[in-house]
């Protein structure tokens, strides 16, 4: 750890950097925005008795930044949409974020510049209920913004993953609305993930309350059937994924028909291709489900072309949809 940074609230770039002017590489050294100031991550502490600690009372976003070697800039992908979803999660959960959208965007960008990243990053922006309280507390509400290096997937090395249908059901709008990106919701995915791992699978998928395919614990799903792209609708107990929306648009640009509709478990078995998508997952091909091969059991051509289009749009400063990229 860089001791010069401990006990310090940092306001300038030079204060943030190591002696050689490089970006912080030790995760405890990186600067995060925490409760109104920029501090080393190791100094950001919340009470063990806080609602966020005790009950997972927080909402958050995972945002990716892709380093553009041409533009010499980090490109934050669909930042305004992430901020909008964060506010929607706050609204449903009865939390008042102390920062407005513009301030939040500014703090996120400043956190990046202070750390001087010149590589791909993932940023966690979290609104949480602090100080001693219970699950019903609605204040004090605080914010942290924490970036960390996270390289993009190497498209030349992508491999398909084995999936299963979990015996656990996806939470739904009558219990814990999945469109809220809330820490506590992830425990549902944890049960499914633990079960999948015990049984030798890499990724579980959960069915919704009516038995239709919903999503995996941290990503949405797409199937290819007869050349068409199919994905569960936003009423199938999914998070309203920004990557899913991106893929739907890129598919249309590539001339691929898209359908948002119910998907049966047995339809998954006979799909030609399947992949998950999400900010963290990017695009993750699925080549078997419940030990049945998807198509020929290999990464398919539609998955590959969407992957190329996706990596281009997130990381190329000159790609279409400039409004999706916030340069920092
Ligand atoms: C449960 C769940 N579904 C889907 C996604 C994908 O959402 P996005 O594309 O907005 O990252 C995520 C990731 O955040 C998730 O946690």
Angle at 326 between CA 323 and CA 327, to 5 degrees: 125
At residue 16, does pLDDT exceed 70?
no
Q: Give the C-alpha separation, 13 to 296, whole Å.
A: 52
Long-range contacts of 295-302 (CB under 8 A, 24+ apart): 295/224, 295/271, 297/160, 298/160, 299/158, 299/159, 299/160, 299/273, 300/224, 300/272, 300/273, 301/273, 302/224, 302/227, 302/229, 302/256, 302/273
Report the separation in Å between the CA atom of 105 and the middle of ligand 1, taken as the mean of its atom positions: 20
pLDDT of residue 17 exceeding 90, the answer is no
pLDDT band, very low/low/confident/very high, at 26 (cuts 50, 70, 90): low
**In the block, residue with structure tokens 């939040």:** 104
Lowest mean pLDDT among 149-163, 167-181, 257-271: 149-163
Task: Provide the pLDDT for residue 27.
Answer: 63
pLDDT confidence band for 178 (50 / 70 / 90): very high
Nearest residue CA, atom 16 of ligand 1? 218
Average confidence score pLDDT of the chain: 92
Give me ligand 1 centre to Cα 72, in Å: 28
Topology (CATH) of 3-149: D-amino Acid Aminotransferase; Chain A, domain 1 (3.30.470)
How far, in Å, from the CA of 296 to the mean position of ligand 1?
Answer: 27
> pLDDT per residue over 180-230, tens digit each?
999 999 999 999 999 999 999 999 999 999 999 999 999 999 999 999 999
**Angle formed at CA 105 by CA 100 and CA 110, multiple of 5 degrees:** 125
- Residue the block writes with tokens 């290999």: 298
Nearest CA to ligand 1 atom 6: 278
Ligand 1 closest atom vs CA 178: 1
Strand pairing class (282-289; 161-169): parallel
Phi, psi for 78 (deg, rounded to 5): 50, 50
| 243 CA closest ligand 1 atom index | 9
Choose the residue to mutate in 241, 244, 247, 276 for probing ligand 1, maximizing ligand atoms within 8 Å of C-beta. 241
Q: Tens of pLDDT along 239-293?
A: 999 999 999 999 999 999 999 999 999 999 999 999 999 999 999 999 999 999 9
**Using CA positions, which residue lies closest to atom 1 of ligand 1?**
218
**Average confidence (pLDDT) over 165-184:** 98
Calculate how far, in angstroms, residue 291's C-alpha sits from the geometric centre of ligand 1.
Answer: 25
Average pLDDT of 306-312? 97
141-153 pLDDT, tens per residue? 999 999 999 999 8
Whether the Cβ atoms of residue 291 and residue 165 lie closer than 8 Å to each other: no
Question: Hey, whose CA ends up nearest to atom 11 of ligand 1?
Answer: 279
Higher pLDDT, 21 or 24: 24
Instruction: Give the lowest-confidence range in 32-36, 118-122, 156-160.
Output: 156-160
pLDDT over 80 (residue 14): no
Backbone angles phi, psi at 160, to 5 degrees: -75, 150
Angle, to 10 degrees, between the axis of helix 101-115 and the axis of helix 79-93?
A: 130
Give tens-digit pLDDT for 242-253.
Answer: 999 999 999 999
**Ligand 1 centroid to 243 CA: how many Å?**
8
CATH of domain 155-315: 3.20.10.10
Ligand 1, CB cutoff 6 Å, lining residues: 62, 215, 218-220, 238-239, 241-244, 278-279
pLDDT in tens, 34-70: 999 999 999 999 999 999 999 999 999 999 999 998 9
Ranking 8-22, 121-135, 219-233, 240-254 by mean pLDDT, the lowest is 8-22
Q: Nearest C-alpha to atom 7 of ligand 1 is from which residue?
A: 241
Active site residues: 181
Distance CA 107, CA 231 (A): 34
- From atom 5 of ligand 1, which residue's Cα is the shortest distance away? 219
* 239, 249, 277: residue to mutate for ligand 1 pocket, most atoms within 8 A of CB: 239
CA of 277 to the centre of ligand 1 (A): 8
pLDDT at 23 over 60: no
Residue 7 has pLDDT above 70, yes or no: no
pLDDT (average), residues 112-122: 96
The answer, yes or no, to whether residue 12 has pLDDT greater than 70, is no
Mean pLDDT of 132-146: 96
pLDDT of residue 25: 53
Q: Which of 88, 218, 324, when mutated, tests ligand 1's pocket best, judged by the most ligand atoms within 8 Å of its CB?
A: 218
Mean pLDDT along residues 169-183:
98
**Domain span(s) for CATH 3.30.470.10 in the chain:** 3-149
The pLDDT of residue 28 is 62
Residue 251 to residue 234: CA distance in whole angstroms: 18
Q: Which pLDDT band, with edges at 50, 70 and 90, does 74 fall under? A: very high
pLDDT of res. 24: 52
């Amino acid at each position: 750890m860089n001791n010069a940074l401990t006990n310090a609230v940092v306001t300038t770039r030079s204060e943030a950097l190591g002696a050689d002017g490089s970006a912080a590489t030790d995760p405890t050294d990186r600067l995060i925005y925490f409760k109104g100031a920029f501090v080393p991550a190791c100094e950001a502490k919340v009470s063990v008795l806080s609602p966020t600690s005790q009950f997972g009372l927080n909402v958050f976003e995972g945002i990716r930044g892709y380093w553009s070697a041409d533009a010499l800039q980090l490109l934050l992908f669909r930042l305004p949409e992430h901020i909008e979803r964060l506010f929607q999660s706050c609204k449903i959960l009865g939390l008042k974020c102390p920062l407005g959208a513009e301030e939040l965007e500014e703090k996120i960008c400043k956190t990046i510049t202070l750390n001087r990243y010149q590589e791909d990053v993932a940023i966690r922006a979290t609104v949480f209920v602090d100080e001693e309280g219970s699950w019903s507390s609605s204040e004090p509400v605080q914010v942290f913004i924490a970036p960390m290096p996270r390289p993009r997937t190497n498209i030349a090395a992508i491999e398909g993953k084995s999936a299963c249908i979990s015996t656990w059901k996806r939470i739904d709008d009558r219990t814990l609305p999945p469109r809220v990106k809330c820490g506590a919701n992830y425990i549902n995915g944890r049960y499914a993930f633990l079960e999948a791992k015990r049984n030798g699978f890499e990724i579980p998928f959960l069915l919704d309350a009516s038995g239709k395919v919903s999503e995996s614990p941290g990503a949405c799903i797409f199937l290819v059937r007869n050349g068409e792209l199919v994905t569960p609708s936003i009423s199938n107990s999914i998070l309203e994924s920004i990557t899913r929306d991106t893929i739907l648009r890129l598919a249309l640009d590539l001339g691929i028909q898209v359908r948002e509709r119910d998907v049966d478990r047995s339809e998954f078995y006979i799909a030609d291709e399947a992949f998950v998508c999400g900010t963290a997952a990017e695009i993750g091909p699925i080549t078997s489900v419940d030990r049945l091969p998807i198509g020929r059991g290999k990464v398919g051509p539609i998955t590959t072309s969407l992957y190329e289009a996706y990596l281009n749009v997130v990381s190329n400063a000159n790609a279409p949809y400039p409004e999706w990229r916030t340069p920092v």
